[in-house]
Amino acid sequence: GRLEAVTQQMGYHPQYLDSFLKTQHYLMHMDGPLPFDCRHYIAIMAAARHQCRYLVNLHVLQFLRAGGDPQWLRGLEFIPPKLRNLNEINKILAHRPWLITKEHIEKLLKISEWSWSLAELVHAVVLLAHCHALASFVFGCGCEQDEGLGGRGAPKPLSLGNQCFCEATAGNSYSQELLRINRKRSLDSCMELDSLRERMQRIHVETEGRDEMRLLQQEREEGEGQGAEAGVQGGSSWLSPLADTDGEVTGATNLACYMQDPDFGYQDFARRDEDQTQVFRVQDYSWEDHGFSLVNRLYSDIGHLLDEKFRMVDGLQSSAMAKRQGCEPSVFKRGIWNYIHCMFGIRYDDYDYAEVNQLLERMLKVYIKTVTCYPEKTNSEMFDRFWKQFKHSEKVHVNLLILEARMQAELLYALQAITQYMI
């Protein structure tokens, strides 16, 4: 009867929570191109790329409840070839989505008896992007800790029935109860943010030329020192094995069996040894003008749900941030969103990237980059050190921005490749 940790953390923003749960439920439990057991196995494959035992264990349980073959849990060698062929695009999407091409799409759609349909592939791509981004949120908010702790700064667990976020639907009344408890059990500091306000005010009076590549170069230099700050999560920090409906323990013990090429990981999009970097320009292919219509046509209604979720996180208002920043909250949120997309090679021609360096302190940038690109290296010290004066709910807000910006970035690359194949 314990409220699941991801739901507890998102409960600081109940409107977003409702939208998230509605999308999650539709992806996993409503009518769609993919069988229910395959959906949860794809989620297992996606979560394993980031060593997220928390999500793997949740979907192992749901996989068995959906009637999945227990033999599949022995690893990729024991699943149907059609599902195993998804491994390559899973790997690329999770770590370097800019490498996806129409050839990857064509390979999946034209493998004789093991071929995917376009509708099935779109469903799978949305699932992969959803779970990759959710793994970032899980590590960013500390949900990979013991489930009884409910993540960092979580409210006291509620007894609201035996329902995990994989099964929940939107519109449940407990989101308001979460909001009430979060207000009552506030863990927030009341320190003023004078320095941040001053930096944001300067943006409106200072003009600087565009410097996108300098931003990336700075991140590469900072990345060299991140190893000591990031600290890979230890093996003891993961969710305890769950029990299925018959009481049998079904914990994930060896995540390596769910993936191939485990050494494949994120690399900086812009490399010093490259004369010219091919960037993804939103003006040429955007979610609003291209991705939404394509995904909605091939997987009915999911486009509307995703679009609602993207808009919901953009519209979230944190009262303390709005009052203390000294400028429009949208400026700050757009800086975080565009910074995340920048790390994946996505550019906005109408944005001055010099704003990012003024808006985001170094520790915040290190935190965002780690949670976005290699969330398994996130540790509690990093979470505690960035913006100590900010409320916990505001830190959750930042993690929601990371979740949605990352998911949209992966979808843009995958859907563009599908579009190119269809042309």
The residue type of 366 is: V
Residue with tokens 């490498």: 99
CA angle 134, 137, 143 (to 5 degrees): 105
Residues 337 and 405 sit within 8 Å (Cβ to Cβ): yes
Q: Which two tokens stand for residue 118?
A: 């376009």
- 52 as an active site residue: the answer is yes
End-to-end CA distance of the chain: 50
CA-based nearest residue to 151, from 166, 139, 168, 165: 139
Tell how far CA 108 is from the center of its chain: 24
The DSSP H or E segment spanning 280 is: strand 280-281
Task: Compute how many other C-beta atoms are within 10 angstroms of the C-beta atom of residue 422.
Answer: 12
Residue 122 and residue 299 in contact, taking contact as beta carbons nearer than 8 Å: yes
**How would you class 342 by CB atoms within 10 Å of its CB: exposed for 0-12, middle for 13-18, buried for 19 or more?**
buried
* Interatomic CA distance for residues 33 and 36, integer angstroms: 9
Catalytic residue among 38, 52, 141, 166: 52
DSSP string, 343-403: HTTEE-TT--THHHHHHS-HHHHHHHHHHHH-GGG--HHHHHHTTTTS-HHHHHHHHHHHH
Q: Which of 267, 404, 414, 282 is nearest to 337 (CA)?
A: 404
**Which positions are annotated as active-site residues?**
52
